[in-house]
């Protein structure tokens, strides 16, 4: 297992070192990838291509009318402050960025902390593990309903507690200044346990003897954490950061139950906004343009993460 102590080992190796490979060997990787690829192409790639095309189109009045090509006009409208969608889009995009960065910045380190706490011998392990993970088991609409109750201004738990201490109550999801933070709070509670699972799996594949050797060398906890744990969890962190940013950008159901984007869009997020407009057929071009922008942001973020975390690890 000492190979794991040197994570820089070239990890991609050709299946055969012979210069010429048989057609079967050359075909083999594609066969492995094919089953996944078929479903991804059918249910994601093809419809997504259509999304890009439709983002340059404007539907006609009747459902049977053909679309009109309008070039990048839909994108322009999204940034036009007097347009019925454009006037809201930039604020909501800003909310989404704040929401994603804060959620990510808090829940990913917190998930690592959870995982490290639970990766130690402790009594009643099952209880603690369950307590921190169970929010991921809840359906979003159920979780959001619970939080709607916690946050309720008049009959909610938090305000009842504040009141019982004689404190000023907070209109958690009704006050324009607190609403975004309330959604972020709920989201951190919901998602952290989920990311914790991956850190736990990552921690468990680090052999204990590495730490024992480090401890013998006199390394304290902090040195062990920065010199061993963090670098060895590099792949896991890449995975968790990518996944959590994607999830944050795609938050919808929480808003449905908590605040419907209100008040005044101060608690609105991009994908929920897209769904708010999807019922009007004539917004189809805007829906697709907003989707393209959402995916483009995620792409940039994901690719830069891969570059950042995997530099020096590729053999090509």
| Site for another protein contains 189 (CB under 8 A) | yes
| Site for another protein contains 230 (CB under 8 A) | no
Stretch that binds another protein, among 70-78, 101-109, 223-231, 234-242 (CB under 8 A): 234-242
Residues 13, 24, 216, 307: which binds another protein (CB under 8 A)? 13
Residues 106, 145, 210, 219: which binds another protein (CB under 8 A)? 145
Residues 102, 162, 207, 214: which binds another protein (CB under 8 A)? 207
Considering beta carbons, is residue 10 or 19 the nearer one to another protein? 10
**Min. distance of Cβ 71 from another protein in angstroms?**
19
| Site for another protein contains 167 (CB under 8 A) | no
Residues 67, 181, 219, 302: which binds another protein (CB under 8 A)? 302
**Min. distance of Cβ 27 from another protein in angstroms?**
9
| Site for another protein contains 137 (CB under 8 A) | yes
Distance CA 35, CA 23 (A): 19
Residues 22, 68, 131, 304: which binds another protein (CB under 8 A)? 131
| Site for another protein contains 69 (CB under 8 A) | no
Are 263 and 248 a contacting pair, CB within 8 Å?
Answer: no
Residues 69, 134, 225, 308: which binds another protein (CB under 8 A)? 134
| Site for another protein contains 73 (CB under 8 A) | no
Instruction: Please choose, from the candidates 173, 301, 188, the residue with its C-alpha nearest in 3D space to the C-alpha of residue 251.
Output: 188
**Min. distance of Cβ 160 from another protein in angstroms?**
5
| Site for another protein contains 269 (CB under 8 A) | no
Each residue of 250-280: b (16+ CB within 10 Å) or e?
Answer: ebebbbebbbebebebbbbbbbbbbebbeee
Residues 147, 180, 241, 248: which binds another protein (CB under 8 A)? 147
**Which token pair is 304?**
């830069």
Considering beta carbons, is residue 72 or 117 the nearer one to another protein? 117
Distance CA 307, CA 312 (A): 9
| Site for another protein contains 125 (CB under 8 A) | yes
Strands 68-69 and 57-58: antiparallel
> How many residues of this chain interact with another protein, rule: CB under 8 A?
142
Distance CA 191, CA 241 (A): 12
Residues 117, 167, 227, 230: which binds another protein (CB under 8 A)? 117
Residues 70, 97, 98, 175: which binds another protein (CB under 8 A)? 175
**Min. distance of Cβ 142 from another protein in angstroms?**
3
Please give the residues from 27 up to 66 whose contact with another protein meets the rule CB under 8 A.
28-33, 35-48, 50-51, 61-64
Considering beta carbons, is residue 73 or 153 the nearer one to another protein? 153
**Min. distance of Cβ 218 from another protein in angstroms?**
16
């Amino acid at each position: 297992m000492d190979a794991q102590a040197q994570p820089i080992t070239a990890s991609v190796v050709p299946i055969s070192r012979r210069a010429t490979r048989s057609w079967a060997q050359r075909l083999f990787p594609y066969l492995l990838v094919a089953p996944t690829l078929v479903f991804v192409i059918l249910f994601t790639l093809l419809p997504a291509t259509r999304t890009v095309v439709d983002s340059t189109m404007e539907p006609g009045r009747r459902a049977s009318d053909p679309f009109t090509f309008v070039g990048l006009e839909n994108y322009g409208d999204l940034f036009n402050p007097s347009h019925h969608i454009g006037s809201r889009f930039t604020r909501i995009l800003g909310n989404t960025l704040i929401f994603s960065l804060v959620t990510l910045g808090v829940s990913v380190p917190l998930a690592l902390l959870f995982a490290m706490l639970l990766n130690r011998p402790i009594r009643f392990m099952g209880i603690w593990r369950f307590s921190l993970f169970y929010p991921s088991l809840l359906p979003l609409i159920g979780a959001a309903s619970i939080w709607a109750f916690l946050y309720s201004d008049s009959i909610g738990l938090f305000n009842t507690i504040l009141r019982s201490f004689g404190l000023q109550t907070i209109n958690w999801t009704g006050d324009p200044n607190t609403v975004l933070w309330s959604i972020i709070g709920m989201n951190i509670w919901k998602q952290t346990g989920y990311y914790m699972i991956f850190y736990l799996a990552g921690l468990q594949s680090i052999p204990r003897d590495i730490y024992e050797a480090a401890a013998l060398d006199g390394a304290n906890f902090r040195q062990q954490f920065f010199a061993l744990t963090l670098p060895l969890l590099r792949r896991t962190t890449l995975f968790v950061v990518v996944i959590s940013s994607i999830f944050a950008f795609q938050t919808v159901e929480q808003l449905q139950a908590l605040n419907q984007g209100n008040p005044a869009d101060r608690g609105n997020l991009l994908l929920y906004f897209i769904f708010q407009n999807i019922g009007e057929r004539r917004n189809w071009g805007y829906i697709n343009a907003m989707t393209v922008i959402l995916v483009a942001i995620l792409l940039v973020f994901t690719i830069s993460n891969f570059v950042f975390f995997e530099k020096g690890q590729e053999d090509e």
